[in-house]
Structure 1
Amino acid sequence: MFLSFLSFLLLLLAGAAAPPALSLNQEGLYLHGAKLSLSDQDSSLAAWDDRDASPCGWPGVGCDHPSGSVVSVDLSGFNLGGPFPLLLCRLPNLTFLSFFNNSITSLPAGVSACRSLVHLDLGQNLLAGDLPASLADLPGLAYLDLSANNFSGDIPASFGRFPRLEVLSLVNNLLDGAIPGFLGNVSTLKMLNISYNPFAPGRIPPELGNLTNLEVLWLSECGLTGKIPESLGRLKRLTDLDLAFNYLEGPIPSSLTDLESVVQIELYNNSLTGELPAGLSKLTALRLLDASMNRLTGTIPDELTRLPLESLNLYENQFSGELPASIADSPNLNELRLFNNRLTGKLPKNLGQNAPLQYIDVSTNNFSGEIPASLCANGELEELLMIENSFSGPIPEALGRCQRLTRVRLGNNRLSGEVPSSFWGLPRVSLLELADNKLSGPIGEEIARASNLSVLSLSRNEFTGPLPKGIGTIVRLLDFSASENKLTGSLPESILNLGQLGRLDLRSNDLSGELPSGIRHWKKLNELDLADNRLSGSIPADIGGLSVLNYLDLSGNQFSGKVPAELQNLKLNQLNLSYNSLSGPLPPMFTKQMYKNSFLGNPGLCGGEMKGLCNGGGEERNSGYVWLLRSIFILAGLVFIVGVGWFYMKYKSFKNAKRAIDKSKWTLMSFHKLGFSEDEILDCLDEDNVIGTGASGKVYKVVLSSGDAVAVKKLWDGPRKESESHDVEKGPVQDDGFDAEVKTLGKIRHKNIVKLWCSCTTRDCKLLVYEYMPNGSLGDLLHSSKGGLLDWPTRYRIAVDAAEGLSYLHHDCVPPIVHRDVKSNNILLDADFGARVADFGVAKVVERTGKGHESMSVIAGSCGYIAPEYAYTLRVNEKSDTYSFGVVLLELVTGRRPVDPEFGEKDLVKWVCITLDQKGVDQVIDRKLDSCFKEDVCKVLNIGLQCTSPLPINRPSMRRVVKMLQEISAENAPKKVNKDGKLTPYYYDDASDPGSVA
């Protein structure tokens, strides 16, 4: 009886404690189980509550109202992680499933159990490995998007057997097999997008011409070679054809003129040759034709102008002849880009009269005649780019009414006359380039209304009169150059208001008067060139406070007085104060012979080794006093040396006695076979051997008895003062930095990871002993006066070495290691400029928990290198290191620091992107690099931009980065121009000279 009562009581309690999930229907239980299998960082599924009776009201869940059955699950952008939840496949009527833009890490073959699926979107996740062949077993699947993942290998043969598939998107993965012809068997396809994959080089499969229902075919950046197959002309329903960024050659096939439904054709960045095919007028729906960056020849055919074209891009080809006059009759023309061709003649007088022209770029051709006044007749024009032609006559006054203009480049032509006053004050223009013409008259006061102007280039014209007083109202101005004109008067006081100014070049004018006081406000000024004017007065000491100034030329003026001692604070690459009326002693820093050319033509200047800058009169008269003073100093010096020597011997005896007692307390842990003892290390840890100080401690150079050198990092003892415990870049010092570095480096063996010989510890002190790197860190070398040692072949090899080191950490260590503080200062250089990744004090082992990332409690890393998602979410994975390495690549290309006062609120990544857009690649590349390497530098720049993509999913893996960098060497090894004019490749295996020519 008692047992029965006890059983009843237990059942009652069990019933009371039973989870409310029992109230959910079966489909709700499946969804709730799927929720529990996922990582939900943002609690996006918090409303998926097991106390509900039905899941139909849950976020992302859609139901069929009559039956109440779940038919769709859309979790796009929910920030979910973990493997694909197969429980969802038990939903019998699920037709729509989207995990777009999440962190799903695996897609098992069991996904074929989702038998009812019609739409499956897994784009922008963390999926890797082979494409699941079982996806083709889904009988009703019509839409499959696996884009922006990390799938690799071949496209499985089963993908040629989809019975109903209409959309297949595999864009932006790591697929590296050949593009298979069996895709031409999926006759139901309407959209095929496999762009941006590193496919093995191969031809476009002619079988794709069998996809007669195809509307969109995107094969850009797929490594395609050979000719475009004629069979593509059979795709009568095709509206969008994109074959850009490949290696296609030969002529554009005439069969493409049979694509009667095509709206846009993109063939740019290939090696296509020949003329545009006849019959283009049949493409009555064509809105965009982009065949730029090829080797096409001939003239631009008249029949193009009979199409409803909105955009015509034929730039960077070899087209010749005149532009058809009928192009002006195209009613929809919005974009016309024809730059870098061999076109001649005049632009049609009514160009823009009948079309809403928004962008026109005809730069670098041989056009002549006047600029058509009708270009902005419809008021839509935003970009007017016409540099490097032979346009003549005045700038049309009508362009001054073009209020939407943002970029104007008319430089290097033969334009003349005065610039219309209204043209100066265009409110939206950010770039105004009029250099290298014959323009005259004053710079109009109306320029004060150009409030968006950031670059004003007026050099090498015939402008006259003073600088406008309102110039200081253009507070966004970054670059102002008006050299080699006939400007007069003094610099207006308002010019000091240009706080963002990075470059001011007014060389070779007729400016006069004194420099205005308050130059210290130009905090971001990088270049100041006022040479060859008639400026007078003293050189303001304020210039010495311009911390980022590296180019200063005030030569050929009438400056007088002393050279300000404050100029010694500057880190200048170029200093020229020659041919003025300066006098007095030079500041000590400038008294060396190396500065002599900076002060020529100033007979009143004297100092140090600068022979010939001043008279020697009176020297004999003072020689007796000089001899007496010299004797006194010598005697005092001898007494001082003897005293210091005696004190040093006493101190050393005391120190050795103390160390003899302490040595017994040290514990040594070695990670390699050592040829030295801890005694040798400890004996050399004095201030004379310090070579660096950072957030975690001091670094010493220790020369061993064998003659070899090692680097010893002594970590700070215990907690430090608040003022000392933060590094400018790295933030708070990590208490576990020693353990992290020992744990990480102690087990790593790689040629591009710095070698940790051993560690020495006591209760109060911790030492790490590394291999010594004679050339220091990449950051110190690149951003110092020794940056000239790093030519492009050396920088390229450093990039490859560092990439291989990081690739080893990410892909060859089990589990993977994330460095978390990749930066140029943590890339060390050996005697031959070989690179090693160093400083693992904040490195983390990434345990694979299914989340694809690990959350950190604090941010580790350095300003300018930290990936956006890491800074905002503290989520870290290998792609965080990829971003930081991308910043290092941009440093190597630009020679600039990751953060710089010149950039303002921006960092190096944003500065590069904006400068590329506004000024072009030449303004991004480090001027110290030889121009013969430009092609390879641009390729590395492109890789750096890929690595610094805002979205982690769009960044390549480090293994892929290594491959891309190596391809630059393999396909087009850096070359040097020899004396005979031939190009000779560089070889990198000569350790004594990384730039030696074979």
Structure 2
Amino acid sequence: MHTIFTFFFVLLLSSLPPILSINQEGLYLQHVKQTLDDPDHFFSGWNDTDHTPCNWTGVTCDPATGSVVSLNFTNANLGGPFPLIVCRLRSLAFLSFSNNYINSTLPSDISTCQSLRHLDMGLNVFVGSLPDSLSSIPTLEYLDLNGNNFSGEVPESYGRFQKLEVVSLTGNLLDGKFPMVFSNVTTLKTLNVSWNPFQPSRLGPEIGNLTNLEYLWVSDSNLVGELPDTLGGLKSLINFDASENQLSGRIPNSLTELTSARQIELFGNKLTGELPRSGWLKMTSLRNFDAAMNNLTGTIPDELTQLPLASLNLYKNELEGEIPETIANSPNLYELKLFNNRLSGEVPQKLGENSPLYLVDLSTNNLTGKIPPNLCAKGEFSELLLLENSFSGEIPASLSECATLYRIRLGNNRLSGNVPPGFWGLPRVSLLEIPFNSFSGEISKSIASASNLSQLTISNNKFSGSIPEEIGFLSNLLGFVANDNQFSGPLPDSILKMDQLGNLNLENNHLSGEIPSGIKSLTKLNDLNLGNNEFSGQIPAEIGTLSSLNYLDLSNNRLWGSVPNELQSLKLNQFNLSNNHLSGELPPLYAKEMYKSSFLGNPGLCGDISGLCDSKVEVDRQRYLWVLRTIFVLAAVVFLVGVVWFYHKYKNFKEVKDSIDKSKWTLMSFHKLGFSEYEILDCLDEDNVIGAGASGKVYKAVLSNGEAVAVKKLWGQSNKLADRGDIECGGGMVNDDGFEAEVETLGKIRHKNIVRLWCCCKTKDCKLLVYEYMPNGSLGDLLHSPKAGLLDWPIRYKIALDSAEGLSYLHHDCVPAIVHRDVKSNNILLDGEFGAKVADFGVAKVVDAIGKGTKSMSVIAGSCGYIAPEYAYTLRVNEKSDTYSFGVVILELVTGKRPVDPEYGEKDLVKWVCTTVDQKGVDHVIDQKLDSCFKEEVCKLLNIGLLCTSPLPINRPSMRRVVKMLQEVGGESMSKSGKKDGKLTPYYYEDASDQGSVA
């Protein structure tokens, strides 16, 4: 009977629907979800109807017990304080919040996570001190707190970790003593405390206790004094980086005992003395040795070069003597950089025979002899940089078969003979520079095969013959500099096919014939120098169509005829047509004394320039009576113009006064005001106009208390306002509802980097918006005017940071978020101290509450050159559209150029910067008005601008991240090579030939 009852009871339960509920660990994680800001919906798949969280994103469980053992929230864009509740997960061994916005302090109660082995809280926004209690986690093996804002001392308790193998505190604000406490943690394999403003400290001898240490990064840590001898006790060391400090003295001999060392970097210190002479042969595993940019003296030890090195970098020191022959025997050598020293003698002629060489840079030394013939023996050689030495002889014929060569710089040597024919046509070479030598012969027709060549510089040699037609096959050539040679014959017609050519310099040759009339096809031409040749014929009028041309020199030729009037359309910085056979009247633009030197030596030319033409005095006499007759006519005209002007002014004054019926105005204030609407209305006089646009006029109103405000008067029929500033790139009309909603939003904004809206006055047909007055006007007007010199680097950096903080406030702190939709330099206003404030984000266009997603717009709003690609194509807009526009503003600050300009051709500023940096280097985009001592910081700001203008919105940082990156640029002692932990890419690469090329 009992058995039957049990059977039916079980059958009944099985027929009921299952009742599931989440387990306790799932409840803990649901609490994490509720406490963190999740704009990217990382937690969207965390369903509380699941019985277990093991299938949730970022969660891993033990397959045997079902307990949560790992939480990986890397790159999830989460914000908020650290969720301490995760420490209730008793089996949690792996926890990563890397690259998020976890803020506040790291709580000391994190030590309750007693099972943790891996803790990564890097790249967040933590502040305050490091928690003392971390060392009480007995199982902790990996600790990464890099890229935060921790400050103060490293706790003494950090010397008591029991199993810690990896610790990274790089890139914080730790300003106490250098943390030698880690020398007690003998289990350490990686110690990274670089990029912190520690107090000046020595690297103590107790560092030798870390016998298991493999990676030691102490760069930019304010280290002083000498390196301790005990470093020789680090038998397992693979990488040692003490760059960017103030170390002094000699490299200790004990370093030669590091038999497992792979790489030693002493980059950017102030080491003095010689490299040690003995002990190197014990370092049988050493592969990379980098002691560049120091003050090392003496010679390169032969024992060092006997090691099987892969990379030897000793550039920018004061080394003397010869390069040891034994360097050629290394079977692994791929990089040899010894430029900017005082080395002499010959380069080992067997260099490259036994090595997979990739790069050799021996520039700026006193080296002599021949170029080694077998540099490309292993077929991997790419860069040969030997400029500014005393090499002699010919270019080895073997290099003409090196198809992997990419960059060649042999300028300022004593090389001679014919260049091997195949050398001209190397298929991968992008840069070929061999100026200031004694090369002779002709340019080989094989140059047609150099399809990748972008810069050809062969000036100041003895080349002769004609320029071959095959030069026209170089469709990627940007610069052809062949001045001061012995070329003859006419210019080849094929040169007109080089539509990317920007610089053509053939000065001081024996070229003849006419200048091709089809030269207008060279639309990118910026520099044309054909001076000191034997050209004849007339000057082609088509030269006047070259809108990018700013240097024109056709002097000392046999040109005849008149100076074409079409040349007046050019904007030239240098212009020289002297010593030809030109005649006739000069075009009016050039008939001025300031251009006299441009036309000397042309007896037939006449113009209003003293001494240029013998008939000038007679012409002046003939004109004298005509001038007298016209004086009376001009006087009458002036009188009539004055009458018309007076009538126009009176009419405008009457219209303004008629429109201001004080009894019909209503005032809406957003701040406590010290003035009334009547005081504002009394200032709306035409004499006070400081700007005008499609939507109305802007007045400067000086109040009775002496303060000034800016008043924007908007009007339009049917109460519609023209969309300001968007005539060419989109626009429309703003209706009353949108205007009222926008004013309500602006009235609530309170931020130091957003222009303050004092109040709004309105009638039926007119609206006045009263803003705070900004004495220095807009960034765009100032940056692109003769007063741009006022904007030095510190001011430009401050403007970038201020405006970024204003946009970050709109995106991240306003609820709902505000998308500006028209970020540009003209909408960034400057106060009396050049503080920047974002303006015009709501006056003449409506910005809806877009929130976290995107919104489709009916028209394109924005200004040419600033509009994000996806906005222009899809009409979909979000915060990343503003990020793109702000990136263009950064590029304006760095380059000093406008977002669109005829010199870019069909490109805008973003594409021009990318192309120019890639082909010519960063020096060609940085504004020449900026002091070169700030080049490092300028390059970093340029990188941020390029990151913000990424074509894909997902690759652009948020404005909150942009603010953080800008603050890092403003920090002290920023390294030139970036962070060494792999989480921040270098800002630029530096060598003898491309100082400061953007990475």
Match of 1:340 in 2: 340
TM-superposed CA distance for 1:728, in Å, is 5.9
The structure-2 alpha-carbon separation of the partners of 1:500 and 1:681, relative to structure 1 and needing over 3 Å to count, comes to: farther
C-alpha distance in 2 between matches for 1:732 and 1:352: 70
Name stretches of at least 5 consecutive residues in structure 1 with no aligned partner: 1-15, 845-852, 969-998
Contact 2:382 2:407 in 1 (8 A): yes
TM-superposed CA distance for 1:430, in Å, is 1.2
Question: SS at 2:321's partner residue?
Answer: strand
Contact 2:811 2:879 in 1 (8 A): no
1:538-687 map, 5 Å:
538-608=538-608, 612-613=612-613, 615-616=615-616, 619=619, 622-623=622-623, 626=626, 630=630, 633-634=633-634, 636-638=636-638, 640-641=640-641, 643-645=643-645, 647-648=647-648, 651-652=651-652, 654-655=654-655, 657-659=657-659, 661=661, 665=665, 667=667, 677-679=679-681, 681-684=683-686
1:294 aligns with 2:294: yes
Q: Deviations over 1:68-102 (max 9, x none)?
A: 33333334444544444444333332222333344
TM-superposed CA distance for 1:318, in Å, is 0.3
Question: SS at 1:440's partner residue?
Answer: strand
C-alpha distance in 2 between matches for 1:967 and 1:268: 10
C-alpha distance in 2 between matches for 1:57 and 1:816: 33
C-alpha distance in 2 between matches for 1:729 and 1:163: 64
Contact 1:184 1:211 in 2 (8 A): yes
C-alpha distance in 2 between matches for 1:232 and 1:264: 14
Question: SS at 2:400's partner residue?
Answer: helix
Contact 1:731 1:862 in 2 (8 A): no
Match of 1:496 in 2: 496
The structure-2 alpha-carbon separation of the partners of 1:32 and 1:227, relative to structure 1 and needing over 3 Å to count, comes to: same
Question: SS at 2:683's partner residue?
Answer: helix
TM-superposed CA distance for 1:599, in Å, is 3.0
Match of 1:305 in 2: 305
The structure-2 alpha-carbon separation of the partners of 1:765 and 1:237, relative to structure 1 and needing over 3 Å to count, comes to: same
Q: Deviations over 1:405-425 (max 9, x none)?
A: 111111111111111111111
Match of 2:274 in 1: 275
Q: Deviations over 1:373-425 (max 9, x none)?
A: 11111111111100100111111111011111111111111111111111111
Contact 1:502 1:902 in 2 (8 A): no
C-alpha distance in 1 between matches for 2:574 and 2:515: 20
Q: Deviations over 1:844-895 (max 9, x none)?
A: 9xxxxxxxx977758998777899999999456999999677545523xxx4
1:374 aligns with 2:374: yes
Question: SS at 2:316's partner residue?
Answer: coil
C-alpha distance in 2 between matches for 1:690 and 1:704: 16
Give the number of the structure with larger relative contact order, counting CA–CA contacts within 8 Å between residues 6 or more apart.
1
Q: Deviations over 1:726-764 (max 9, x none)?
A: 5769999996776676655x764x9xx989887765552
The structure-2 alpha-carbon separation of the partners of 1:405 and 1:907, relative to structure 1 and needing over 3 Å to count, comes to: farther
TM-superposed CA distance for 1:725, in Å, is 2.9
Question: SS at 1:296's partner residue?
Answer: strand
716-725 vs 124-133, which moves further: 716-725
Match of 1:725 in 2: 726
C-alpha distance in 2 between matches for 1:767 and 1:711: 8
CA RMSD of aligned residues (A): 4.5
1:63 aligns with 2:61: yes
Q: Which amino acid aligns with 1:252?
A: I
Q: Which amino acid aligns with 2:418?
A: E
673-682 vs 207-216, which moves further: 673-682
Counterpart pick for 1:94 among 82, 85, 92: 92
C-alpha distance in 2 between matches for 1:263 and 1:966: 26
Question: SS at 1:513's partner residue?
Answer: strand
TM-superposed CA distance for 1:371, in Å, is 0.6
TM-superposed CA distance for 1:431, in Å, is 1.1
TM-superposed CA distance for 1:966, in Å, is 12
The structure-2 alpha-carbon separation of the partners of 1:411 and 1:618, relative to structure 1 and needing over 3 Å to count, comes to: same
Q: Deviations over 1:535-555 (max 9, x none)?
A: 333333433333333323333
C-alpha distance in 1 between matches for 2:387 and 2:77: 47
C-alpha distance in 2 between matches for 1:597 and 1:914: 36
1:192-271 map, 5 Å:
192-271=191-270
The structure-2 alpha-carbon separation of the partners of 1:372 and 1:656, relative to structure 1 and needing over 3 Å to count, comes to: closer
C-alpha distance in 1 between matches for 2:723 and 2:801: 37
Question: SS at 2:114's partner residue?
Answer: coil
Match of 1:980 in 2: none
1:905-920 map, 5 Å:
none
C-alpha distance in 2 between matches for 1:490 and 1:799: 49
Contact 1:800 1:966 in 2 (8 A): no
TM-superposed CA distance for 1:260, in Å, is 2.0
TM-score (norm 2): 0.81
232-241 vs 594-603, which moves further: 594-603
Question: SS at 1:543's partner residue?
Answer: helix
C-alpha distance in 2 between matches for 1:569 and 1:402: 47
Contact 1:827 1:836 in 2 (8 A): no
Contact 2:147 2:172 in 1 (8 A): yes
TM-superposed CA distance for 1:258, in Å, is 2.3
TM-superposed CA distance for 1:916, in Å, is 6.8
The structure-2 alpha-carbon separation of the partners of 1:810 and 1:282, relative to structure 1 and needing over 3 Å to count, comes to: farther
Q: Which amino acid aligns with 1:212?
A: T
The structure-2 alpha-carbon separation of the partners of 1:864 and 1:660, relative to structure 1 and needing over 3 Å to count, comes to: closer
Contact 2:728 2:864 in 1 (8 A): no
For these two proteins, the number of residue pairs brought into alignment is: 924
C-alpha distance in 2 between matches for 1:795 and 1:731: 38
Match of 2:113 in 1: 114
Q: Which amino acid aligns with 2:98?
A: F
C-alpha distance in 2 between matches for 1:397 and 1:40: 63
Q: Deviations over 1:873-923 (max 9, x none)?
A: 9456999999677545523xxx44566676689877887788678766655
C-alpha distance in 1 between matches for 2:869 and 2:253: 48
1:442-453 map, 5 Å:
442-453=442-453
TM-superposed CA distance for 1:648, in Å, is 3.1
Match of 2:519 in 1: 519
Q: Which amino acid aligns with 1:22?
A: L
C-alpha distance in 1 between matches for 2:358 and 2:400: 16
Contact 1:668 1:678 in 2 (8 A): no
896-905 vs 461-470, which moves further: 896-905
Question: SS at 1:799's partner residue?
Answer: helix
Match of 2:989 in 1: none
C-alpha distance in 1 between matches for 2:743 and 2:553: 48
TM-superposed CA distance for 1:51, in Å, is 4.4
1:802 aligns with 2:799: yes
TM-superposed CA distance for 1:67, in Å, is 3.0
Match of 2:6 in 1: none
Contact 2:605 2:612 in 1 (8 A): no
534-543 vs 238-247, which moves further: 534-543
Q: Which amino acid aligns with 1:306?
A: Q
1:766 aligns with 2:768: yes
C-alpha distance in 1 between matches for 2:202 and 2:867: 41
TM-superposed CA distance for 1:560, in Å, is 3.4
Name stretches of at least 5 consecutive residues in structure 2 with no aligned partner: 1-15, 844-850, 949-955, 977-999
Contact 2:830 2:836 in 1 (8 A): no
Match of 2:480 in 1: 480
Contact 1:457 1:482 in 2 (8 A): yes
TM-superposed CA distance for 1:286, in Å, is 0.3
1:890 aligns with 2:894: yes
C-alpha distance in 2 between matches for 1:755 and 1:589: 46
102-111 vs 359-368, which moves further: 102-111
Match of 2:3 in 1: none
The structure-2 alpha-carbon separation of the partners of 1:862 and 1:651, relative to structure 1 and needing over 3 Å to count, comes to: closer
The structure-2 alpha-carbon separation of the partners of 1:918 and 1:815, relative to structure 1 and needing over 3 Å to count, comes to: closer
Contact 1:23 1:51 in 2 (8 A): yes
The structure-2 alpha-carbon separation of the partners of 1:556 and 1:765, relative to structure 1 and needing over 3 Å to count, comes to: farther
Match of 1:140 in 2: 139
C-alpha distance in 2 between matches for 1:152 and 1:863: 44
Match of 2:425 in 1: 425
Contact 2:868 2:881 in 1 (8 A): no
